[in-house]
């Protein structure tokens, strides 16, 4: 029996794909071969072709191998979006190594944890971050740190503004301007790529956010990642490879979503990637207005920020054709307003670090369902499982989402018990609660751990948040469960208001009671200027939970 969601597939999208089992770096090789003068990237005025990126990556690969990197070795990349990230990523893969993704904002403790867990003894980072690396290098076992400056790939003379000062110290390559290796690449001979087994060899260790305990390294093979790109590519059936389209790459490459939907997808299709090192609303608006990108993968908070900018009407956003929103639920109001302003389409998708990450998405140009994460992409199976972990839920019944497909991880690095706990007979149990509608569209209601139980009733924060987002004064909202002596737990909402608006808690209470059952209505509200977020813009619910827990401990002491 065919899965019910296949009836909603666009006619041009195959149900199954004959996958090319290729190394991840072959995408760059093919782009450089077929479009050598094609523009691979734009970065604050700097332009590079696919051939230039390939040659620099091969030269850096030589330098890495001279520093002792062998097949299977882990190499950390701690950089924002910039040309050096793209070059370093493919250089590590060319050398047969495994990329360890590291957030530049990590504290020394977090950096040390990931380096020790992964066994990465080489790190590529910014000169500005070198002191952080240096302070933990002995504890973390670092033998080589390669530094670069953002200025290395900017279009103005570096020798005048950034004088070279480099030295070697105990096998640590130190350079405050990046001349080792990035400014000396032209003097290095490119070496041939190391052969890999796409289905077995790990291309990337993608560390999870560590919301429960220490972060876990997700082992993503070359095939996991190239298969996911091919699945996504089929979804964009109106586009063709090398057709001149541009991607706005503001979601960080070190995040699994940015890596796949920008870095890998862009390279696979030989699209230009317009890189921004961080999400700054003014800079993003100016960049869209000037560079005219067609695709803008992002997170809901990014779109919210743009839509609420006081000078939004000053900028032309009409180049945007399609956006897949990920990392967090997409409020309906945000979707509708963004489409009115750009004329493009924005659809919600779903995925995890453990699935490379995309498993579901709404159709871009065909049937979609507002409030749903869409349907599984080709060769991906999904089901909803009840609390016993075995019984499959009925249509519309809430349970844990489980998925199976070629993009599902090999396992957790050095954590066989954790791997066994979530991978069962090829199915990945996601920890997300949801249901499948009669038409095969899936809905995520919340993480299992975020479920609020008040007086025995299950309350899903996302449902309450959707209602709060409907209020014209609410810019951002997040809901958590807080201890309650009578109900066990009760609902608390944290609100950020739009500029030059106001609303009282009583008004919000009336608004919610008109739209929610009484047990779901927040019992308290806290207004804030901003909410804690990850680098990609995902609201950190757990930080708020920890803050509330700390308050209670303080009050009881």
The 10 Å Cβ neighbour count of residue 458 is 14
Q: Is the confidence at residue 11, as pLDDT, over 80? A: yes
Query: In the CATH scheme, what is the code of domain 26-195?
Result: 3.40.50.980
> How confident is the model over 498-517, as pLDDT tens digits?
998 999 999 999 999 998 88
d(CA 382, CA 67): 44
pLDDT band at 243 (very low <50, low <70, confident <90, very high): very high
d(CA 29, CA 420): 36
pLDDT at site 540? 87
Which of 44-48, 94-98, 330-334, 443-447 tops mean pLDDT? 94-98
Q: What is the number of alpha carbons within 13 Å of residue 557 lying toward its C-beta?
A: 6
Q: Is the confidence at residue 526, as pLDDT, over 50? A: yes
Q: Is the confidence at residue 161, as pLDDT, over 60? A: no
**Where do the domains of the chain lie?**
4-16+224-447, 26-195, 451-556
> How confident is the model over 468-503, as pLDDT tens digits?
999 999 999 999 998 887 677 889 999 999 998 999
pLDDT at site 456? 66
Q: Which residue has the higher pLDDT, 301 or 352?
A: 352
pLDDT at site 72? 97
pLDDT band at 172 (very low <50, low <70, confident <90, very high): very low
pLDDT at site 552? 80
pLDDT at site 289? 97
pLDDT band at 301 (very low <50, low <70, confident <90, very high): confident
pLDDT at site 360? 97
Is 274 in contact with 42 (CB distance < 8 Å)?
Answer: yes
Domains 4-16+224-447 and 451-556 alike in fold: no
pLDDT at site 156? 53
State percent of the chain over pLDDT 70. Answer: 93
Sign of the CA dihedral running 171, 177, 178, 182: negative
| CA distance readout (Å), 426 to 380, 381, 405, 410 | 11, 11, 8, 10
Q: Is the confidence at residue 168, as pLDDT, over 50? A: no
Q: Is the confidence at residue 382, as pLDDT, over 90? A: yes
Q: Is the confidence at residue 376, as pLDDT, over 70? A: yes
State percent of the chain over pLDDT 90. Answer: 66
For residues 341-346, average pLDDT: 95
Phi, psi (degrees; rounded to nearest 5) at 206: -105, 110
For residues 512-538, average pLDDT: 89
pLDDT at site 209? 58
pLDDT at site 298? 92
3-class SS shares of the chain: helix, strand, coil, % to 5: 35, 25, 40
pLDDT band at 556 (very low <50, low <70, confident <90, very high): confident
Fold exhibited by the domain 451-556 = GMP Synthetase; Chain A, domain 3 (3.30.300)
Q: Is the confidence at residue 13, as pLDDT, over 80? A: yes
Whole-number mean pLDDT of the chain? 89
> How confident is the model over 391-430, as pLDDT tens digits?
999 999 999 999 999 999 999 999 999 999 999 999 999 9
Q: Is the confidence at residue 332, as pLDDT, over 90? A: no
Which superfamily does 4-16+224-447 belong to? ANL, N-terminal domain (3.40.50.12780)
Q: Is the confidence at residue 206, as pLDDT, over 70? A: yes
Q: Which residue has the higher pLDDT, 306 or 557?
A: 306
The order of strands in the sheet holding 217-221 is 144-148, 122-126, 74-78, 98-101, 202-207, 217-221, 411-412
For residues 63-73, average pLDDT: 92
pLDDT band at 75 (very low <50, low <70, confident <90, very high): very high
Q: Which residue has the higher pLDDT, 267 or 327?
A: 267
The residue count for the chain: 557
Per-residue b or e along 47-63, where b marks 16 or more CB atoms closer than 10 Å to that residue's CB = ebbbbbbbbbbbbbbbb
């Amino acid at each position: 029996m065919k899965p019910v969601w296949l009836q909603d597939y666009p006619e041009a999208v195959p149900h199954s794909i004959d996958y090319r089992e290729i190394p991840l770096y072959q995408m760059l090789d093919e782009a450089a071969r077929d479009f050598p003068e094609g523009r691979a990237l734009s970065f604050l005025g700097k332009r590079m072709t696919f051939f230039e990126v390939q040659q620099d990556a091969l030269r850096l690969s030589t330098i890495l191998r001279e520093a002792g990197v062998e097949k299977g070795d882990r190499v950390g990349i701690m950089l924002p979006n910039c040309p050096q990230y793209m070059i370093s990523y493919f250089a590590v893969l060319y050398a047969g190594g495994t990329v360890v993704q590291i957030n530049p904002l990590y504290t020394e403790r977090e950096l040390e944890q990931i380096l020790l867990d992964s066994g990465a003894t080489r790190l590529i980072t910014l000169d500005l971050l070198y002191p952080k690396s240096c302070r933990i290098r002995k504890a973390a076992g670092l033998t080589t740190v390669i530094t670069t400056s953002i200025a290395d790939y900017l279009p103005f003379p570096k020798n005048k503004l950034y004088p070279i000062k480099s030295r070697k110290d105990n096998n640590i390559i130190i350079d405050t301007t990046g001349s080792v290796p990035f400014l000396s690449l032209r003097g290095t001979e490119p070496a041939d790529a190391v052969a890999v087994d796409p289905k077995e060899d790990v291309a990337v260790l993608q560390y999870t956010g560590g919301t429960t305990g220490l972060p876990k390294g997700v082992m993503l093979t070359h095939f996991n990642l190239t298969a996911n790109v091919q699945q996504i590519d089929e979804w964009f059936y109106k586009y063709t490879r090398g057709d001149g389209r541009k991607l706005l790459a503001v979601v960080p490459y070190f995040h699994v979503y940015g890596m796949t939907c920008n870095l890998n997808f862009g390279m696979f299709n030989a699209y230009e990637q317009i890189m921004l090192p961080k999400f700054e609303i003014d800079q993003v608006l100016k960049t869209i207005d000037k560079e005219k990108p067609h695709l803008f993968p992002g997170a809901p908070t990014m779109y919210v920020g743009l839509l609420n900018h006081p000078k939004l009407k000053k900028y032309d956003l009409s180049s945007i054709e399609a956006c897949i929103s990920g990392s967090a639920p997409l409020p309906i109001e945000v979707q509708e307003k963004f489409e009115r302003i750009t004329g493009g389409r924005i659809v919600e998708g779903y995925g995890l670090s453990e699935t490379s990450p995309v498993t579901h998405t709404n159709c871009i140009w065909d049937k979609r369902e507002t409030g749903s994460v869409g349907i599984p992409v080709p060769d991906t199976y999904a089901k909803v499982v009840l609390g016993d972990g075995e019984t499959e839920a009925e249509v519309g019944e809430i349970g844990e989402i489980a998925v199976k497909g070629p993009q599902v991880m090999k396992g957790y690095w050095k954590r066989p018990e954790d791997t066994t706990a979530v991978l069962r007979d090829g199915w990945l149990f996601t920890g997300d609660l949801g249901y499948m509608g009669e038409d095969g569209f899936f809905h995520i209601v919340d993480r299992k751990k975020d479920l609020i139980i008040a007086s025995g009733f299950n309350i899903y924060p996302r449902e309450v948040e959707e209602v709060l987002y409907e209020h014209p004064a609410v810019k951002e909202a997040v809901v958590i469960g807080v201890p309650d002596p009578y109900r066990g737990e009760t609902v608390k909402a944290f609100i950020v208001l739009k500029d030059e608006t106001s609303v009282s808690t009583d008004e919000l209470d009336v608004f919610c009671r008109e739209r929610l059952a009484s047990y779901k209505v927040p019992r308290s509200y806290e207004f804030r200027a901003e909410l804690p977020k990850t680098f990609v813009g995902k609201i950190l619910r757990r930080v708020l939970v920890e803050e509330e827990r700390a308050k209670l401990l303080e009050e009881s002491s």
